[in-house]
Amino acid sequence: MTGHALVIGTRKGMVVARPRDDGGWDADPMLFSPSPVTAVAADPRTGRLLAAVNNPFWGVSIAVSDDLGRTWSEPAREADTAPIAFPERTGAALRDVWQLRFSPTEPGVVYAGAEPAALFRSEDGGMTFRLVEGLWNHPHRPSWKPGAGGLCLHTVLPDPADPATVTIAISAAGVYRSTDGGTTWTPRNHGITAKFLPDPPPEFGQCVHKVDMHPSRPERMFLQHHGGVYRSDDAGGAWTRIDAGLPADFGFPIVVHPHHPDTLYVLPLNADVDRTPAGHRYQVQRSDDAGATWRALDKGLPEGPCYASVLRDAMCADTLDPAGIYFGTRDGWVYASRDDGETWTEVARHLPDVLCVRAVTR
């Protein structure tokens, strides 16, 4: 390891934080202010960083860094076309990019999840993207309804072995999966119920907040729903609830440990009453048995009361062992654990509300 950084995307710019030898963190000056930085991804092969920067006046662009976030460039700044844009024939306009994800199997391939809900694919390392037409033309799409955060495609999980297989999630349409390179997409929401859905629940329309999986066991997926944490052992074919031991079943992020496929993390929020941390304390809940039991991890986190929530991409893991786990809050505080979540330290405070965090090591 030659360097490690935590990239923090906020409602008004980006901060990159770096660990000190004494266990604390130093934060670089704010970048891209006042533009929201809505998605960040690190290339697992090179450590290259991509960030979606939504200039409030001029629209979304993609920024690139090859030095752990110290310097950034905008390769498409003078280009005639934006790096991510809807084709004119769609009649749609890009509002935001909420997810960037490098393919684990195809060098140079990057996916982008957009609002309005659409998947884009780049084959040149994220410089230019094309709409994945198969999902855009899905017969369900006219019936998809937005969640409170808009009709956004917020999760992209490329299969770790098969480049033709990709799982995505949309609020509030649910999980869809393609096994033919994005030509056709099948809803994968069986078993996900909610108070706001009819009984039996529909084929799609679930308010999926986030999905994650471990690359060594891609058929086992974990999902945070708007009410309910779920596991699937057949890549989303059927979902079962695993939230019996949690203090609240609502939340936004869900993160799988980088080295233990049955270890996962959530951050429970009270819902739908006030959507604040359960117990009015930040408590990261970890399960080491794929959701059968849970344990609260809060050593080093503030005593509270805490009333700010944590958004779906504002929690992440790094690739180290023991793993670093990170989360940022809507009132602009960021916390890190360098020991699988056992103990926590403050990374930054008083930032704008945190939209996403991503750790990078190279």
Partner 1 sequence: MNVTVRLPAALRDLVGAPAAVPLDLPADATVGDALAALDAALPAIGRRVRDETGALRPHVNVFIGADNIRDLAMLATPLKAGADLEVLPALSGG
Tell me the closest approach of the beta carbon of residue 38 to partner 1, in angstroms.
Answer: 16
Give the range of 51-59, 167-175, 276-284, 318-326 binding partner 1 by CB under 8 A.
51-59
- How far, in Å, CA of 254 to CA of 270, rounded? 16
- How far, in Å, CA of 135 to CA of 119, rounded? 7
Tell me the closest approach of the beta carbon of residue 91 to partner 1, in angstroms.
Answer: 6
If one asks whether residue 82 binds partner 1 (CB under 8 A), the answer comes out as yes
Tell me the closest approach of the beta carbon of residue 280 to partner 1, in angstroms.
Answer: 26
Closer by beta carbon to partner 1, 342 or else 353: 353
Closer by beta carbon to partner 1, 82 or else 271: 82
Contacts of 127 (CB under 8 A, 6+ apart): 62, 75, 76, 83
If one asks whether residue 33 binds partner 1 (CB under 8 A), the answer comes out as no
Kindly tell me which residue out of 23, 24, 34, 300 binds partner 1, with binding defined by CB under 8 A: 34
Tell me the closest approach of the beta carbon of residue 57 to partner 1, in angstroms.
Answer: 4
- How far, in Å, CA of 13 to CA of 312, rounded? 18
If one asks whether residue 130 binds partner 1 (CB under 8 A), the answer comes out as no
If one asks whether residue 16 binds partner 1 (CB under 8 A), the answer comes out as no
Size of the site for partner 1 (CB under 8 A): 21
Closer by beta carbon to partner 1, 95 or else 260: 95
If one asks whether residue 86 binds partner 1 (CB under 8 A), the answer comes out as yes
Q: Which CA distances in Å does 345 have to 304, 328, 335, 348? A: 15, 12, 6, 9
Total Cβ atoms within 10 A of residue 280: 14
The binding site for partner 1 (CB under 8 A) comprises 34, 55-59, 77-82, 85-88, 90-94
